[in-house]
Amino acid sequence: MGTFKDLTAYSKAFDTSMEIFEKTKRFPKEEVYSLTDQVRRSSRSVCVNLGEGYRKRMYQKHFMAKVSDADMENTETSIWLDFALACKYLDEDSHSRLQVYNGEVGKLLGHMLKYPEKYGAK
């Protein structure tokens, strides 16, 4: 078994986070410590929680807790993206694309939660 970076969920979450980073560079300066910071943090936390959980996968409860945290952060990211659309910081196409990516990550995390043993959790 490889590293957490080999997980499809990690790869997709990382790519989504980086696209969010690029899109948020154009958000207004007054949002830098609120919406910009929040959506960047939550999207990055998906990756961080996956990495932490994978490293402790020998303890299934710890693994599950971290994957659950990643799922929570992924949901938070989706909500911040909705705010960005409502505030007109994201156009419809960018929002839709990011929400599709976010949904794909959510499905992968759901699979990890349902079948932790497939990811080496004991």
pLDDT 10s digits, 3-57: 899 999 999 999 999 999 999 999 999 998 899 999 999 999 999 999 999 999 9
pTM, full prediction = 0.94
Mean pLDDT on 75-94: 98
pLDDT attached to residue 1: 59
In a domain, 34, yes or no: yes
Residue 121 lies in a domain: no
pLDDT at 2 over 90: no
Has residue 35 been placed in a domain? yes
Domain count, the chain: 1
Looking up residue 28, the CATH number of its domain turns out to be 1.20.1440.60
CA within 13 Å, CB half, 56: 14
The parent domain of residue 103 ranges over 4-116
Evaluate whether residue 107 is within a structural domain: yes
Residue 122 lies in a domain: no
- Average of pLDDT values for 83-91? 97
Please give the Cα distance from 7 to 26 (Å, whole number). 30
55 located within any domain: yes
